[in-house]
Structure formats: C-alpha cells, structure tokens
Structure 1
Amino acid sequence: MLDDKDRALLRRLQADPSLTVPELAALAGVTAGQAARRLDRMTDQGLIRGQTAVIDWAKLGYPLQVSLRVTLDKTVPSAFDAFLAAAREVAEVLEIQTFLGRVDVRLVLVARDLKHYQTLYRDRILALPHIADIEALMDVAAVKSDERLPL
C-alpha cells in the first residue's frame, strides 16, 4: 500500500525522471536513505517498471509515424504467436498492442519518408504471417502523449 511519502516520490519522479535520489528525497520531504529504500521497494513490487529515454524520432530522421490496425486469420491456432514473433523483428516497429474485438493487433512504426514507408510496408509488413486485413492510419499530430497520472 502506498502512503503519502511514496506518492510524493512518484509525483516528483513522474515530473522529472532525471532527478537523483537525494533530489527526489528533498522534494518529497524524506531522507535520501528513506527515498532509496522506498524506490527500491516500489521497483521490487513492480510499481516502478524502469526509466526510459523518450526519443524524438523525427529529429533522428524518422518523422513519419504510422499506426497499422491488423486483423489476423483466426482459423490458424498459432496465428497470434507467429505474427507477434515476426512483428517484433521489424526494427521500425516501436509498439505492438493486442486487442479484443475486430482489430487484433496495432503496430506503431516510424519511417524516414513515404518512400521508406512504402518499402517497409510492402517488404516487411505485408510479409508478416496470418494477416487477414490491415488498415494504415498516418499520424498527423500528437495531441496528448503522457503516461503520468495524478498521485
């Protein structure tokens, strides 16, 4: 169970993951030792799953982002596993989500430009196994992208 000190640490960590443990401790009103123990406990419990760098793919030469909604051939028992294993091998695929409903999987991928996307789509995506239907949605703008919740 989280207490107010845990929530204070998590709020500060969400706001600025680059803060050191002593900085987090000072902002949350605990000692550095207490902060380290609390953060370790929350990590061990799986509440904190890690810290990542958020990459601006456009600045790295991949300004095009596309979401692909994929419906798989459900007559094949191993379709999900085979598709997911193959999709993980496509370097430009940043995210894979599975769903219940008409759409089974959503892939988020990046490309350098339309030509690169077309090549990637034809050569790598359409070669993925057990696709029954696929729909491409090209991102126009990210209106909100935030994993922080009020604590």
Structure 2
Amino acid sequence: MLDSQDRAILRQMQADPALTAGEVAELTGLSAAQVTRRLDRMQRDGMIRGQSAVIDWAAMGYPLRVSLRVSLDKTVPGAFDAFVVAARDVAEVLEIQTFLGRVDVRLSLVARDLAHYQAVYRDRILALPHIADIEALMDVAAVKSETGLPL
C-alpha cells in the first residue's frame, strides 16, 4: 500500500515526470536515496509503468482525431482476436480499447486531413476482419484529458 511519502513522490512525478530523484527529494523532504528506493519499489510492484512523452499530434501535422466504435460479428470464432491483431497494424490507430456490451472495440486514430482520414477509413479500417457495425465520431475538442490520479 502507498503511504504519505509514496503519494508525495507520485504527486511530484505526475506534475513533472522529468524530475530527477534529487529534485523529487528536495520537493518531498526525503533523501535522494529514499526517493530512488521508493520509485524502484513502485516500478517493481507495477504502480509506475514508465515515463513517456506527450505528443501533440496536431503540431506534428495530424490535427484530425476520430473515434471509431466497432461492433464485431460475434458468430465467428476468433473474430475479436483477429480484429485486434489487424487493427494494431494500422499506423494511424493510436489507441485500441475493448468493451463489454453492444460496442466491442473503440479505435482512436489521427489523420492529416479529411482526405487522409477517408483513405485510411476506406483502405485500412473497412478492410479489418469481422466488422458487423462501425460508427465514426470526429473529435471536436478535448474538454478534459488527464492521466494523473488525485493523490
């Protein structure tokens, strides 16, 4: 379980993942060695899975974001696994989420413009196996996008 010192470390790491152990130590009142040991333990226990860069896809030339809600043909054995394996190969797909219910999978993808999206949709998405139904939702604005927890 996390104690107050672990939470303090995680709060600092969520605020700025680039902080060094020494900088986190200064901000939390712990020694750098204590911070390092605690971070190592939290990584070993799977609480911290790593660090990543947050990429602004619009700044990279991919301003269009689309969510696709996909229902699969559940009468075909292995349809789910085959779909997910094939969807992973679509470079523009950034995220694949699975659900229980009418919608089986949500794909989040990016495109350079509407023409690029249409090409990806027609040539790559509709070619994915075992699609029974698909609904496209074009993102208009990200109202809230957080990855941190209130610690």
So what's the TM-score if we normalise by structure 1?
0.99
Give the 5 Å matches for 1:23-38: 23-38=23-38
Q: Aligned runs of 1:4-43 on 2, under 5 Å? A: 4-43=4-43
Classify the secondary structure of the residue corresponding to 1:58: coil
Q: In structure 1, the residue corresponding to 2:58 is in which secondary structure?
A: helix
Specify the SS of the correspondent of 2:59.
helix
* TM-score (ref. length: structure 2): 0.99
Deviation at 1:12, TM superposition (A): 0.4
The residue type equivalent to 1:48 in the other structure is I
Alignment match, 1:75 = 75
Matched position secondary structure for 1:110:
strand
> What is the deviation of 1:131?
0.1
1:147 positional shift = 1.2
Partner of 1:142: 142
Match of 1:132 in 2: 132
Which letter maps to 1:122?
Answer: R
Which structure 1 residue ranges, 4+ long, deviate > 6 Å from structure 2? none
Distance in 2 (CA, whole Å) between partners of 1:127 and 1:40 is 44
1:49 alignment partner in structure 2 = 49
Q: Aligned-pair distance for 1:122?
A: 0.2
Structure 1, unpaired ranges of 5+: none
For residues 16 and 31 of structure 2, the distance between their equivalents in structure 1, rounded to whole angstroms, comes to: 18
CA distance in 2, matches of 1:125, 1:10: 38
Q: Please state how far the C-alpha of 1:128 moved relative to its aligned partner.
A: 0.2
What percentage of residue pairs aligned between the two structures are identical?
A: 76
